[in-house]
Amino acid sequence: MRRGLLKTVKRIVIKIGSGVLTDPEGTLDMVVIGQICDEIALLRHRGLEVIVVSSGAIAAGRNELGLTDKPRTIPHKQAAAAIGQTRLMQAYQTSLAPNNLKAAQVLLTSEDLGSRQRFLNARATLDALLGFGIIPVINENDTVVVDEIKFGDNDNLSALVTNVAEAHLLLILTDIEGFYSADPRTYPDARLIPLVKAITREVEHAAGGAGSAVGTGGMATKIAAARKAGKNGVATIMVSGKQRGIVTAALQGEEVGTLFLPSGTGLNRRKHWIAYTLKPSGMIIVDDGARNALLKKGKSLLPSGIVSVQGRFERGACVRLCGFDGVEFARGLSDYSSGESIRLIGCKSSEIEELLGYHYGDVIIHRDNLVLL
Ligand code: GLU
């Protein structure tokens, strides 16, 4: 199964976690970085295009700043990332050079990828770098972001990068051998699961709950990343990154770590961007009739189906669509701002012009700008 799936893989995103890149003292582990870079070189020579999403900036900067503990405040984390990022890039450069490869630094923020223009710019840059045979090394631009506008973690960033770069596979190198039936540090009889066909609630539960901040060794964010990549038709393989030869083994289709199959229906790239990259800035509650029409009949959202509007958003913003139960079932780009939408609650499309004095169209969210979750 793995070999067949890997046959069509040409462009891959390799996400490398801080725990893989650093030793217990928090310094960059040049032996491991060297190993991984040698494997990247082998992949390049086989004609694969490799994009790295690398953590480790904050960890590497901590020592440089003389901090004994993990930095806690945001400015301290940012200072650590700023100095650590240069050390990280130096480490990649030094380790790729013997293989005649070069690293390029790409720092992104969530706002960058939230703008369609910048998203497409990032894609063009990555394409150009890969065309020159260079290895892009991506990290979050930690200096300029705070918690509310962060990607949150590099697992999430790596899943988004599979969409930006139109990659075919996400390989997550982490400090555990793969996905287990339970946290192996607490449950010694937990089993490694080699294949996850679908990311169900049970899988999320075993990972410590989707999006929970206390995942099993960060497993929840990895499952969320595999899910996002999967929605785009991209498979994820998760393996233990410190193991020598693991990248090659994974790419040759050996049964290492855990393979997450993509979900059947790949969203198109733009819809994936709407569903997963944009941060929703408001919520529209719709009645059951509208929910049914959106979920089952492929319709657009009309003002008549709106029950209430929450939060403030501009025209063009991404909003959550929820039913009476408050459960989000879709996301989309609103053609009307929150203020306008409130004025249009329950009205007919033919009344929009009269109510607002202008008219952007008959629907609040057009089907083409809507993604069912
Ligand atoms: N951007 C952070 C760093 O380079 C890492 C974030 C993460 O590991 O999720 O240190």
CATH number (domain holding residue 135): 3.40.1160.10
pLDDT on residue 7: 87
Question: For residue 54, how far is its CA from the centre of ligand 1 (angstroms)?
Answer: 7
The total number of structural domains in the chain stands at 2
pLDDT tier for residue 265 given thresholds of 50, 70 and 90 = low
Looking at the structure, tell me whether residues 304 and 333 fall in a common domain.
yes
The single-letter DSSP state of residue 274 is I
pLDDT on residue 210: 43
pLDDT on residue 354: 93
Give the closest residue (by CA) to ligand 1 atom 8.
55
158 lines ligand 1 (CB under 6 A): no
Looking at the structure, tell me whether residues 225 and 247 fall in a common domain.
yes
Q: Which domain holds residue 70?
A: 2-271
pLDDT on residue 68: 83
56 lines ligand 1 (CB under 6 A): yes
* Residue that is written with structure tokens 């029950």 in the block: 307
Looking at the structure, tell me whether residues 204 and 339 fall in a common domain.
no
Looking at the structure, tell me whether residues 331 and 200 fall in a common domain.
no
Name the domain boundary from 219, 244, 271.
271
- Residues 142, 146, 147, CA angle at the centre, nearest 5°? 110
* Cα separation values, 24 from 27, 83, 175, Å: 8, 19, 12
d(CA 78, CA 67): 13
pLDDT in tens, 81-130: 999 999 999 999 999 999 999 999 999 999 899 888 899 899 999 999 99
pTM assigned to the model? 0.82
User: 18, 33, 144: which to mutate for ligand 1, most atoms within 8 A of CB?
Assistant: 18
Looking at the structure, tell me whether residues 75 and 169 fall in a common domain.
yes
pLDDT tier for residue 216 given thresholds of 50, 70 and 90 = very low
Looking at the structure, tell me whether residues 304 and 252 fall in a common domain.
no
Between 210 and 357, where is the model more confident?
A: 357
Q: Of all atoms in ligand 1, which is nearest to the CA of residue 142?
A: 1
pLDDT on residue 209: 54
Question: For residue 366, how far is its CA from the centre of ligand 1 (angstroms)?
Answer: 36
Question: For residue 206, how far is its CA from the centre of ligand 1 (angstroms)?
Answer: 24
Sign of the dihedral through C-alpha 255, 201, 262, 16: negative
Looking at the structure, tell me whether residues 221 and 76 fall in a common domain.
yes
Name the domain boundary from 220, 252, 271.
271
